[in-house]
Amino acid sequence: MKSSPLLLDGNRVAIDIKNQLVGRVSKLKERDIVPCLATILVGEDPASATYVRMKGNACSRVGIRSIRIELPEETTTEELIRAIKQLNDDQSVHGILLQHPVPSHIDERAAFEAISIDKDVDGVTMQGFAQNAFGIAAFPSCTPAAIMEILKYYELPIAGKHAVVIGRSPILGKPVSAMLLNKDATVTTCHSRTSNLEQHVRSADIVVAAVGKPKFVQGDWIKPGAVVLDAGYNPGNVGDVDFEACIPHVSAITPVPAGVGPVTITMLLKHTVEAAERSKR
Ligand code: NAP
């Protein structure tokens, strides 16, 4: 009889990491260092405001201080960059998160690039991206880091496996492709212009869905025994994978919600603590 697939429980992974972080934060506090994450919100998008609030709450649960910079919708690129540079210069701030998307009149890339590499805990700068691609110490963007953390926690093998990543965004598809490659997977990165997408997915041992389309990945695309990681988060708490349809085929799968999402926020906390630890040296 076929055994039921392993449910990759993001909450469990997140709790495990948070427990470790509490100890690391206490050690830092013994040295009078309080890890601090600064979040910047430009404008009044309610979803962005909720994400920023959730990140602040998550910080306080492990003893990280968070400060919230709220700027009006009409903020210019120059004003935003000035605010970021002030945080770069503030020794008590260890991580900076610019909530995106920012209003369309702002040059988002220029704003991201203003974040000091030492405080780029969300892996948004080009330098951070490059360091991640080289596999050297940096803070990768948090969702790719979460995907890798889940694979590590459940001891799922990566080396020699064929990983198919659907999506090539600079914050998700591309960095996770690089991270899987750095762990010796053979990686195929698919996108909206990929021909025969289903055929690529059918040959995958590991599937990462980062498409932004609800229930995009179909059950009959999945090779028997594949591991499926769903980074998607669409309205109504729906992932990019048709979870129910994939269950009969997979050996392991992340649900949505409670899969990649909770680990993503935890990676932001982990990076902030790491940035604080590095700052004392
Ligand atoms: P994105 O910037 O919109 O990128 C989507 C990618 O999917 C693009 O590379 C696009 O290809 C590709 N794509 C679109 N339609 C496709 C199709 N029909 N076939 C193949 N590829 C297709 O989105 P993102 O920011 O990477 O986010 C992806 C998903 O992850 C979303 O559901 C988002 O909500 C979720 N997300 C979750 C977290 C989390 O914490 N769990 C964090 C960030 C994002 P092109 O490049 O050719 O356009």
The best mutation among 233, 260, 264, 266 to test binding of ligand 1, ranked by most ligand atoms within 8 Å of the C-beta, falls on: 233
Whole-number pLDDT of residue 59: 97
Domains of the chain: 32-117 (3.40.50.10860), 141-260 (3.40.50.720)
Phi first, then psi: what are they for 228, rounded to 5°?
A: -120, 125
Residues of the chain with pLDDT under 70: 1-2, 280-281
Q: Is the CB of 221 under 6 A from ligand 1?
A: no
Whole-number pLDDT of residue 137: 75
Residue 12 Cα to ligand 1 middle (Å): 25
Whole-number pLDDT of residue 280: 65
Say if CB 245 and CB 236 are below 8 A apart: no
Burial class of residue 36 (count of CB atoms within 10 Å of its CB; 0-12, 13-18, 19+)? buried
Nearest CA to ligand 1 atom 31: 212
Residue 19 Cα to ligand 1 middle (Å): 31
Whole-number pLDDT of residue 2: 67
Q: Is the CB of 260 under 6 A from ligand 1?
A: yes
